[in-house]
Amino acid sequence: MGNVIVVTSGKGGVGKTTSTAALGSALAERGQRVCVVDFDVGLRNLDLVLGAERRVVYDFINVAQGDAKLAQALIRDKRIETLYLLAASQTRDKDALTDEGVERVIGELKQSFDWVVCDSPAGIERGALLAMRFADQAVVVANPEVSSVRDADRIIGLLDSRTQRAEGGQRIDKHLLLTRFDPARSARGEMLSVADVLDILSVPLLGIIPESEEIIRASNLGAPITMNAGVSPAAKAYRDAARRLSGETLPIAMPTEKKPFLSRLFGRRAA
């Protein structure tokens, strides 16, 4: 049975879609069967970041409503053969997705994939709640600034109360992915430090993704940063994060500007 992960944040534009694509392709490059699912109805973007925007025929809503088979809607990546996309609908309204429809599709995906990675829409409304509803684990994406951290805290509260696992008295594993981290500004004390954010949110750290031009280039090209053996620090950070998701324990490298040094923050547990 596959593992269902929701990539969520509360705040918009912090890097959920970028992270879904990068983590999904990094896991798939390790030979795992991965399906990335776009929950952002009406504002789909995952297809674009993955370079599959011209191949969408059927979408999530078509499958959830029984108008198409899952196999018809899944788009297989042309570069990594174990990577698939289930696109969001661009035209339908948000209420077209129901709890039951989503549960059935996620259930089906779990049968055939090792990982089902759900790209949540921003906000704390219905769309975001649906994206987290059936997850086993959550990647909480945050940037090191006040409003993003506050919203992340809000989302953590919802993960602990509004998911199917939480309602059944089980815990949902949460991981913090700190993105758009600017080491120089953090060193000058202009940006919350990694320690600050960890301290405030007390969720174990999955990785630190530096602010990077390469990420924007990757989106422009429609090829997630981790593809094509990308060697940028951001690609490496996402690849390591994917390995941690698979259960490996790796030291977390603190991004630095010039002389690189490793700060070893071994997988901190919630304290």
Ligand X SMILES: Nc1ncnc2c1ncn2[C@@H]1O[C@H](COP(=O)(O)OP(=O)(O)OP(=O)(O)O)[C@@H](O)[C@H]1O
Binding site for Mg ion (CB under 5 A): 16-17
In angstroms, the CA 25 to CA 80 distance is: 8
> What x/- string results for residues 96 through 125 when contact with another protein is judged by CB under 8 A?
------------------------------
Task: Tell me whether residue 17 or residue 89 sits nearer to Mg ion (CB atom).
Answer: 17
Residue 73 token pair: 């809607």
The edge-to-edge listing of strands for the beta sheet with 173-181 is 75-76, 83-86, 34-38, 115-119, 3-8, 137-142, 173-181, 205-210
* Residue 18, binding choice from Mg ion, another protein, ligand X, none, Cβ under 5 to 8 Å by partner class: ligand X
Q: Are strands 83-86 and 34-38 parallel, antiparallel or unpaired?
A: parallel
Could you say which DSSP state residue 130 is in?
H
Stretch near ligand X under the rule CB under 6 A, chosen from 7-15, 154-162, 166-174, 259-267: 7-15
Binding partner selected for residue 212 from ligand X, another protein, Mg ion, none, CB under the kind-specific 5 to 8 Å limit: ligand X
DSSP reduced 3-state for 218 = helix
The site that binds another protein (CB under 8 A) totals a number of residues, namely 27
User: Which listed range, 45-53, 71-79, 112-120, 183-191, lies at the site for another protein (CB under 8 A)?
Assistant: 183-191
Nearer to another protein, 191 or 215 (CB): 191
Residues 207-236 that bind ligand X (CB under 6 A): 209, 211-212, 215-216, 219, 234
For residues 166-188, b (16+ Cβ closer than 10 Å) or e, as one string? eeeeeebbbbbbbbbbbbeebee
Residue nearest to Mg ion (CB): 17
Residue 113 CB, shortest distance to another protein, in Å, is 23
22 lies in the site for ligand X, by CB under 6 A: no
- Residue 265 engages another protein in binding (rule: CB under 8 A): no
**Among residues 81, 99, 125, 196, the one that binds another protein under rule CB under 8 A:** 196
Contact criterion met (CB below 8 Å) for 8 and 123: no
Choose between 66 and 168: whose C-beta lies nearer to another protein.
168
* Cβ distance to Mg ion smaller for residue 183 or 224: 224
Cβ(188)–Cβ(144) below 8 Å: no
Distance CA 128, CA 107 (A): 18
C-alpha 122/C-alpha 120 separation (Å) is 6
CB under 5 to 8 A by kind: which of another protein, Mg ion, ligand X, none does 13 bind? ligand X
> What letters, b where the CB count within 10 A reaches 16 and e where it falls short, cover 24-46?
bbbbbbeebbbbbbbbbbeebbb
Distance CA 105, CA 114 (A): 15
Binding residues (CB under 6 A) for ligand X: these are 9, 12-18, 40, 45, 122, 179-180, 209, 211-212, 215-216, 219, 234
Binding residues (CB under 8 A) for another protein: these are 145-146, 149-150, 153-154, 157, 160-161, 166, 169-171, 186, 188-193, 196, 199-200, 202, 269-271
